[in-house]
Structure 1
Amino acid sequence: MRADRLVSLVLMLRQHGRLSAAELARELEVSTRTVLRDMEALSSAGVPVYAERGRHGGFALLPGFRTELTGMGDDEVLALLVAGSRRGAQLLGLGPQLSAAMLKVVDALPARHRGAASDVAERLLIDPTTDLLARRESFDDAPTEAMREVRRAVISGLKLRIRYLPAAPVEARSDTPAMRSPTWRTVDPIGLVTVRDHGYLLATKSGEDRTYRLSRIEAAEALEERADRPDRVDLGQVWRERSEAFRNSGDLLTVDVRVNPARRIELASTAVAMHDERVEGDGWVRATATFQDERHAIWALWQLGVGAEVLDRPELRAAVRDRAAAVLAHYDEEAGAVPRERAKDG
């Protein structure tokens, strides 16, 4: 306990520059006499701490004193390096700050770890921008200035004004662009959440729950007015409640499907949710998939080709079949009605 307190003392002095014994005692929840004894111990151990007397006096460290992060194992250093690559910081607009912080952490490591950290960094690549098939990652991103204002409002408890672009229908992303226009709205921010490659702002508007994709916030302004929100929040619980409410809303469509296990992740990533999964005798996964609407379901299932099958909705089966027939007819015309036997032979 005392070793931890001594480290805390040094870090507090590094951060604040000069603190009185009473201030240190209050922060550490010990007596001023204990602080004085700890200061003597630090001085005896070679830490250049000194006392200044007078009304504005206190304890301080000599300028230029540098501390090291001691007591860290090799795996702890490795965990820090891996943590520095997490996508959450990028989603929240903190990518450059995280990189700078990690450099400072590595610089503060003991000498034997600094060299090893450099070697380890060359052997680990976390979350590259493309996968093995050279597909670029789909990554939410918001304007840096907008994210700075969003973070300020969330952390400081201020009302937030955002210029928000609503979502387009799913099929419009690959066919005809939807007519959308951003609008300004004022919200009471609750917190920020990152899920996979997406970032969300949880807020309320006129007392009603609202969830906004960070990538659709084009501009933001933290206002001076205090946000109407509770002082304490269990963000994990709030997210679970909103996720459940969204899945159970009457506007969603549930479909009984079978999916090739090799394509399951693709379906799970495009559907709103997947429930009641079970493996059948042939290895395929049977599940209940939830989609935004019928168009979303058709679009998502079409991406999987013969890797998925709708079981309970004849209208969806017919829609996917009709789309496949239209594609086949198109390519038969383009190729001059090449016999399928020749086409199959390549």
Structure 2
Amino acid sequence: MRADRLISLVLLLRQRGRMTATALARELEVSTRTVLRDIEALSAAGVPVYAERGRRGGFALLPDFRTDLTGLNHDEALALLVAGSGRGEQAFGLGSALASAMRKVVDALPDRHRTVASDAARRMLIDPETDLLSRRQATEPVPGTTMAVVRRAVLAGHRLRIHYAAADQAPTWRTVDPIGLVTVRDRAYLLATRAGADRTYRLSRMLAAEELPEPARRPHQVDLDRAWRDRCAQFLSDGPHLTVLVRVTPERREELARTALAVRAEEPEADGRLRLEVTFQDARHAEWALWQLTADVEVLAPRSVRTALRDRAAMIVARYTETPT
């Protein structure tokens, strides 16, 4: 870990020029004392880093010093820089590692491409925190220590003992065989088996995790995309889910799909609207999601959901018909 930090320190000085020990400590997420020790280690290793005294002082590298990181062309580096603007890395606790990797990517570019790629990446944004209506995207924080243990066990192929709080249940300890990690709309999931049966665990519901020394009982190769599709199909086939038939305007189709569990069928209608067969967790979930779409959606079946939305709309009309006092 220290070797990676030393490389990151050198790259920060190369790309930003003179920096104070405090600024370096903040970027590297260490103490100022650790930065000073790292500077001494770099100097002892022959890296031309020097200190500038005074109010605007700090540490800097000799102008001609360059690290030996090569092999990326402009488009390859740009693709990595743009991908790094998303927030998926936070779901797996890899934010600091990504920042370090991005510094290496930028430094790997030839001088003539470095500024161009950095400027281009700033003009592309993936998955911002809010949408055009200033609504923040829902996120589920996972404690960093728990995420690190889970990630390490998945990559090392070791069994996991997790303290898990399933919905509407008291937390219990479970021993599982981890298969892989999946993130969907800022929710992170662990795909695993327990006693040979497929299981899917939401990481935000893990209160604690312990990596066990014994190897996980899992296949050597895995198609994680296919495994996720199989888990989704299994989830939809299990439990008392509710299927609703609706008409929706094309402009609100994606919003509806995001709030539902799944879109089972879809076909266009003559008036330009779409007829969808949509699955929800239950009637409460369906009524909440469909109410958000106001007049852009119409429930065709079941009648119970249509009636519930009609009654809610009638209450709103009655409330606003009254003259406020």
**Fold agreement, TM-score > 0.5:** yes
Equivalent in the alignment of 2:247: 258
Q: Deviations over 1:186-215 (max 9, x none)?
A: 211111112233221101122211111122
Q: How many equivalent pairs are there?
A: 264
Amino acid at match of 2:190: L
Equivalent in the alignment of 2:317: 328
Give the C-alpha shift of residue 335 in structure 1: 2.2
Structure of greater Rg:
1
- Which structure 2 residues correspond to residues 157-176 of structure 1 after superposition, within 5 A? 157-167=157-167
Equivalent in the alignment of 2:139: 139
Equivalent in the alignment of 1:120: 120
Alignment of 1:66 with 2:70, yes or no, is: no
Amino acid at match of 1:102: M
Give the C-alpha shift of residue 314 in structure 1: 0.9
Q: 2:262 aligns with which of 273, 289, 311?
A: 273
Alignment of 1:314 with 2:303, yes or no, is: yes
Equivalent in the alignment of 2:230: 241
Structure 1: gaps spanning 5 or more residues: 1-13, 15-61, 168-178, 337-346
Amino acid at match of 2:223: D
| Alpha-carbon distance between aligned partners in 2 of 1:124 and 1:240, rounded to the nearest angstrom | 30
Compared with structure 1, are the counterparts of its residues 199 and 318 closer, same or farther at alpha carbon in structure 2 (3 Å cutoff)?
Answer: same
Q: Secondary structure at the match of 2:293?
A: helix
Partners of 2:140 and 2:186 within 8 A in 1:
yes
Alignment of 1:216 with 2:205, yes or no, is: yes
Equivalent in the alignment of 2:95: 95
Equivalent in the alignment of 2:83: 83
| Alpha-carbon distance between aligned partners in 2 of 1:266 and 1:181, rounded to the nearest angstrom | 33
Q: Deviations over 1:212-256 (max 9, x none)?
A: 112222322212232222222222221121112222335222111
Compared with structure 1, are the counterparts of its residues 68 and 229 closer, same or farther at alpha carbon in structure 2 (3 Å cutoff)?
Answer: closer
Q: Secondary structure at the match of 1:127?
A: coil
Percent of aligned pairs sharing the same letter: 56
Q: Secondary structure at the match of 1:324?
A: helix
Compared with structure 1, are the counterparts of its residues 71 and 245 closer, same or farther at alpha carbon in structure 2 (3 Å cutoff)?
Answer: closer
Amino acid at match of 1:112: R
Q: Deviations over 1:60-99 (max 9, x none)?
A: xx98783242461x32222121121233311111112111
Partners of 1:190 and 1:204 within 8 A in 2:
yes
Q: TM-score with structure 2 length normalisation?
A: 0.74
Q: TM-score with structure 1 length normalisation?
A: 0.70
Q: Deviations over 1:153-210 (max 9, x none)?
A: 111111212222323xxxxxxxxxxx65433322111111122332211011222111
Equivalent in the alignment of 1:303: 292
Structure 2: gaps spanning 5 or more residues: 1-6, 8-44, 48-65
- Which structure 2 residues correspond to residues 183-202 of structure 1 after superposition, within 5 A? 183-202=172-191
Q: Secondary structure at the match of 2:135?
A: coil
Partners of 1:68 and 1:110 within 8 A in 2:
no
| Alpha-carbon distance between aligned partners in 1 of 2:189 and 2:323, rounded to the nearest angstrom | 44
Compared with structure 1, are the counterparts of its residues 166 and 331 closer, same or farther at alpha carbon in structure 2 (3 Å cutoff)?
Answer: farther
Compared with structure 1, are the counterparts of its residues 160 and 334 closer, same or farther at alpha carbon in structure 2 (3 Å cutoff)?
Answer: farther
Give the C-alpha shift of residue 286 in structure 1: 0.5
